[in-house]
Amino acid sequence: MGTFGEYIKSALSSIRNNKGRSFLTMLGIIIGIAAVLTVLIIGDGMKATVNSEMDSIGATTVSVSLDNTKTDKLFTKDDLDRIRAGLSNIYGVSPSINIWGETMVRGEAYDMSISCGSEAMEYSAGVKMVHGRYFNAADVEDGKKVIVLSQSAAKKLFGYEEAVGETVTVTAYDLTGEFLVIGIREDTSMDTAYASYMDEPAYMGDVPYTAAAGVYSLNLDTLNSFTIYLDSEYKNAVLSQARSVVENVMGLRGEGAVKVSSGYGFDQTTDTILTIITSVVAIIAAISLLVGGIGVMNIMTVSVTERTREIGIRKSLGARTSSILTQFLAEASILTFTGGIIGIILGLSLAYLICQVVGFEFSVNPLLVLIVVAISTAIGLFFGIYPAKRAAALDPIEALRTE
């Protein structure tokens, strides 16, 4: 055999002369490549969809608290104002205060959960106004007794959703306050869960923390934590900035008393979990690639046995051992390469259909496709080595005696 092109031509001729066997040889590779590629693309689509959903929320949060084992300091309202002024690219900061109380409507008592904070809470995930407005900075500064109710709370307490202008009386800590409803926000999954909780449902609303402090005698100079609201685009910058600003304002530089955490950590955890799941499933699917490679080796070994006399004739005519080795390796590589290409087309098609059905993003990493092609070809070379070596090592005289 002279040139590499002749090796390829001879390998293709052999494959064409045994179409059925060649297809069965490729089938394991096709299925393996398609399975692995489908799983990886769906996994990437799942991660992209989850990240897109989280980013579409727009706002994210950074929680800041003080370690009471390292400092006895607490945040005051003035501290929060100074911290807010020292941070950039944020919607605002808010103390994290929740009050459980009870409200009476038409002589019937209902559990009420009140989230108390600043106007920045409007940028919380899931806050979408359907009627009226959210309380603003002026409402917070003046301590106005206003409340924003969830849809579930408005419907249950007043019998209809558009309850702007109504009043809600909430009793907590043996103190009672009357709040004017200025807005109704869309239910979140938490609102729905609490509102339908067995025989003891609870309804939710948001009020300015200054108003809650005035009604329920809360000390705003003894806050242990607060929340920063920001756009997800700036989460990394704010995370790196927050600790320094808080330490400077509180005089805690170098004491390690400020704890900063973020929803970003949840993003990373979710991404890690999805990556692990995808990887495990891909490894399981890759087992079929191993099976396909063994199939290539078996078929090529049979091919060597069937063509022993042909090999003997070629070696007796001067064909070198390296030529025989190269031809059989080329044949194995062509089979797996072709199977890989068909598998990629099948895998992309299946992944696209599944992503369309389940609503995942369909995104293909070109590098991933190249890697898959390389793997399929490498499998052919690896599993083709044994039969190729066996063919190349045949003694021409013994091969010619074979019937």
Spatial separation of the C-alpha atoms in residues 269 and 244, rounded to whole Å: 25
Q: Where are the domains of the chain?
A: 4-53+269-401, 68-256
- In this predicted structure, the answer to whether residue 180 has a pLDDT above a threshold of 90 is yes
* Higher-scoring residue by pLDDT: 397, 117: 117
Structural tokens at position 21: 């066997």
Give the mean pLDDT of 174-194.
86
- Exposed (0-12), middle (13-18) or buried (19+): which is 367, by Cβ within 10 Å? exposed
| pLDDT tens, residue by residue, 238-269 | 888 888 899 999 888 878 888 888 755 555 66
- CA torsion 218-222-225-229 (nearest 10°) is 60
| pLDDT tens, residue by residue, 326-384 | 777 777 777 778 888 888 889 889 989 988 888 788 878 788 778 777 777 777 667 66
Q: Residue 203: which pLDDT band, with cuts at 50, 70 and 90? A: confident
On whether the CB atoms of residues 228 and 60 are closer than 8 A, the answer is: no
On whether the CB atoms of residues 112 and 205 are closer than 8 A, the answer is: yes
Is the dihedral angle over the CA atoms 180, 182, 183, 184 positive or is it negative?
positive
Least confident of 166-170, 301-305, 377-381: 301-305
pLDDT of residue 399: 47
Tell me phi and psi for residue 93, to 5 degrees.
-120, 155
Give the mean pLDDT of 149-153.
89
Q: In the predicted model, what is the mean pLDDT of the chain?
A: 79
